[in-house]
Chain A
Amino acid sequence: MKGDNEHRSIRKQRGRWAARAIFFCLSIVAAGFINLQIFSTDLYTLRSSENRLRTITVPAPRGTIYDRHGRAIADNVPGYDVSMLPGPRDSISAGLDRLADRLELSPERRTALLSRNRDRPGEALVVRENANFEQVAFIEERRPRFRRVVVDQRPHRRYPAGPAIAHMIGYVGEISQEELARPEYAGYESGQSVGKAGLEQQYEHRLAGRDGIRYAEVNALGSVVRDLGVAQAQPPVPGDDLHLGIDLDLQMYADSVFPDGMRGGVVALDPVTGEVLLLYSHPTFDPNAFIGGIPLNLWNALREHPDEPLLDRVSMASYPPGSTWKLVMSTIGMKTADLAIETYHADTCDGGLWYHTRYFRCWLSRGHGRLNLSEAIKHSCNVWFYQAGQRIGLDPLLAGVGEFGFGRATGIDLPSERSGLFPDSRQWYDDRLGRGRWTEAVVWNLSIGQGENEQTLLAMAQFYAALATGRAPVIPHLVRDEMLAQQRADWTLDLPEVQRRQLVDALARVVNEPGGTAYGNRLARWTLAGKTGTAQNPHGEPHSWFVGFAPAYDPRIVIAAVVEHGHPDGAPSLAVPLAAGIVDRHLETLGLPPEDAPGVRPAEALPPRAGG
């Protein structure tokens, strides 16, 4: 038995050790806290933020597009996007199932969303853009069921004039996989909106702006707890605005007067600057339908419609120019074949002309009789121009047309402009028809704007603008811009001023003198000058053309219009009143004072100009 004293001394010693144990143990623990809270606090503060913050992209509002009077052609309205935060695949999948009915998610859409989530599991998944109010309310009322779902207010595109401006503006849509692979879309991410056609595509990088970042605080379940607001985020940089030369009013006017049920297009330029005043194609579509993803059935209906509503007939379609081409012939003839405004040909027009064994008709079967160039333009006599073509000859004609830029795109600021068609050499015929299997008679067809000759409205407008002003040809452009207005095409008319003026007179006679092919559509207040066209084509009734400008001697607008199959035999040509109406309305909008006596003012009556 140990004594109490001995026991007491052992306890005393062991008590001291126990006290040291307190100090020792708590010091070790304290070291742990020092490590975490003093030395590693930055690391853990960061991890804490990563834990609880999810970045959400704040899309930049696209730049507004204004017309020449400051009216919005494309602007933004608040819309609601429904997205899901990153999370386990089954919970995303289950969430989609719960949303599918309300958000009208098709099975294909659902599959596409899941595959995007697989590709980019760390990103918020935009399930539906531009959800409507009922859909948003459905989600918000059932918040606890949709913890992973965020509803974001985002700017959405709106085109107030809708169909009237569809073809120039294009539309925006979700960026495609092919687009993502292209270098110009570097930095874009799947799910983002991007300009798909028209100006939206052409000026994508100016309009897009830069997306911002917003943080949402989430809890351990990944549900959004609160939005941290814009203060902590990187605000989006809105896109640049665009100001167009387009007159929205004129655009809507064209939409309202374009002949019902017909197809075609019309474009109007400022002949001095090249600003596009009007660009309209018919039939049209509503670009608003594309916002937030166009329903597949509507998209297919648009693509498969026989009238091709998605086709911009101004910049992407070409037509045989018909008689509007005769001014090109006149110009080349004056420059290279010594044609003059008073030139008569050997054969008079009696309704047609024999080329060896083949009879080429004039449109007027009873014939125009004896005509000079001026009258041939006024009456649009084919026989006169057959002989002009003959006189010019095939090689000079092919060379001369090429010199005027036909067959090349004009360079308008649209992404999908197509160039017209005109043979550049005899080789062209040899390649297509075979050497020796064609004759010089092709000249005759080319001379009246038929045959291997198809031109866009833009190219014709560009040529007539040069003819109307006598200046270097402008480049058509939609965006009002000093630089673009200064640009000129790489060719010139190179026609003596006197002769140019004579051609203008002739064009004025077409509209303003009795017997002219457009006399019925002369304007009461201004002198409209221009050329009608009736283009034969293999698809049906002839296309109706009009290309012209006004006022004839101080041109403010040049216009080119085509109505497909718009000139059946014995019926009026539909393009002419359309163009005339647009011109009249534009000049009125400009506030241009009416001329005292609209009509032809022959060059001979004017005092000779110095150096003219």
Chain B
Amino acid sequence: MIARLRIPGVGDPTLLVLVLFMTGLGIAMIYSAGLVDVPSLATGIWVRQLYWFGVAIVALAVTSRFSLRFIEWLAPWAYGISVFLLILVLFIGTGPNGSWLELGPGRLQPAEVAKLGTILMLARVLGGAPGPYERLLELWKPAVITLVPFALVLLQPDLGSAMIFGALLLAALYWSGVPLFKIFLLASPGLSLLLGFNWIAWGLGFLVVAAGLYVHRLFVLEAVGVLLANVFTGALTLRIWDSLADYQRNRLLVFLDPDIDPLGAGWHLIQSKVAIGSGGFIGAGFANGPQKRLAFLPEQHTDFIFSVVGEEFGFIGVTLFLVLFAFLLWRVLQVASSMDDRFGSLIAFCLFAVLLTHIVVNLGMAVGMMPVIGLPLPLLSYGGSFLLVLYAGFGIVQRVAWEA
């Protein structure tokens, strides 16, 4: 029935309805998150999300009307504006991490806008120049396109969002058909950054990379470059660690053992697990979660919204949401797969990657399988900029499906 809806620009009505439905559920959860016994920021904030919902629908309607060629023309502008905003926010940013721009009645998070801008720019560059990717140097354009917003977001500092740009680049390259080994080489300095904590681990990683380079017989210059990059980042690890803010370091450490700081950095993790675990099979019922109610659960309307779901709807509710998310992801992937146009297909796949990363990181964090990295849960977490950007993205995806 849904599939028979004909709205100009909307190529996948099922996906549209799914997105709207999940946003509605999200607003209900934000409403519940605000029902607490102690004065909280979250109280009544669902109304603001409702306004943003309205704005986001308009954005979706607009972007679904743009033809793909127009969007392709628009891409550099969008990317340019994104970078401009990211630079601007470094100087006049407000909020706890200085990551917001005051904008008339609302606030805008340039990092979210930049996700869309970068997606469009990557799609344009990679969509227009297909293959053969024999040399790593051919990838300098997408690398630079990603590196600029990545660095700017890292400067805010917002480690979680910065990671998303890395994921975006990998996803775009993957979908463009770049050989997996080359993607691995490109990512290897990042891997070295992680392994750099331990010289033996780093050494092993370095040998694997070197062996790969030998087997694949890359150009000498490139091979040397990759190896040098690995040495460089491996050596950088401890320096970066030392330069991290205490809270960031703690977040990574408590992931290994939340009890080292149960009242500080471990608090989020412990309380989220307590809320979800105490929800049990059927949960405490809508609006009734005691952990949330008594404000034990922090950030219950943003990053930890799913802990409210877990506490109030139990495992049954969690399963339902997981199925919805899986369906959503699958649907977006379908759009990407069914589109022949490389530009449109890449946009859909990048959106898929952003969604998947957000969902996995956010849910993994809620159940304590991931460090506390502040990434919102798509469509559920409170946050206007992210919703707006997602909807604009979904609008383009609808257009992609329409033109397929």
Q: Which of A's residues lie within 8 Å of B, judged by CB?
A: 1-2, 4, 7-8, 10-12, 14-15, 18-19, 21-23, 25-26, 28-30, 32-38, 40-41, 43-45, 47-48, 51-52, 217-221, 223, 225-226
Contacts and interface: CB of A to CB of B under 8 A. Distances in A.
B274 A48 contact: yes
B384 interface: no
A223 B130 CA distance: 62
Contact of B326 (A23, A34, A40, A45): A23
Contacts of A34: 315
A28 B359 CA distance: 12
Closest 10 CB pairs of A and B: A44-B277, A32-B367, A48-B278, A219-B294, A41-B280, A37-B315, A36-B277, A15-B337, A2-B131, A29-B363
B368 A32 contact: yes
Contacts of B342: 7
Nearest to A7: B177
Contact of A11 (B273, B337, B364, B369): B337
Given A15-B336, A48-B278, A220 B294 contact: yes
A218 to B, nearest CB: 7
Contact of B295 (A10, A36, A44, A219): A219
Given A40-B277, A220-B295, A29 B337 contact: no
Interface in B65-88: none
Contacts of B337: 11-12, 15
Interface string B21-37: 00000000000000001
Contacts of A21: 356
A48 B273 CA distance: 10
B263 to A, nearest CB: 10
Contacts of A10: 177
A48 B177 contact: no
B294 A52 contact: yes
Contacts, number: 143
Contacts of A51: 271, 274, 291, 294, 296
Give the size category of B's interface with A: 35 or more
B382 interface: no
Given A2-B130, A25-B360, A34-B315, A221 B38 contact: yes
Contact of A225 (B273, B294, B310): B294
B142 interface: no
B333 A15 contact: yes
Interface stretch (B107-115, B198-206, B229-237, B317-325): B317-325
21 contacts: A1-B130, A2-B132, A10-B177, A15-B336, A21-B356, A25-B356, A25-B360, A26-B360, A29-B322, A33-B322, A36-B276, A37-B314, A38-B281, A44-B276, A44-B277, A47-B278, A48-B278, A52-B296, A219-B37, A223-B38, A225-B294
A353 B381 CA distance: 111
B319 to A, nearest CB: 7
Contact of A4 (B273, B278, B340): B340
A217 B141 CA distance: 58
B197 interface: no
B280 A45 contact: yes
A487 B270 CA distance: 65
B312 to A, nearest CB: 12
A219 B291 CA distance: 8
B177 A11 contact: yes
Interface in B293-339: 294-296, 310, 314-315, 318-319, 322, 325-326, 329-330, 333, 336-337
Contacts of A18: 333, 349, 352
A14 B175 contact: yes
Nearest to B349: A18
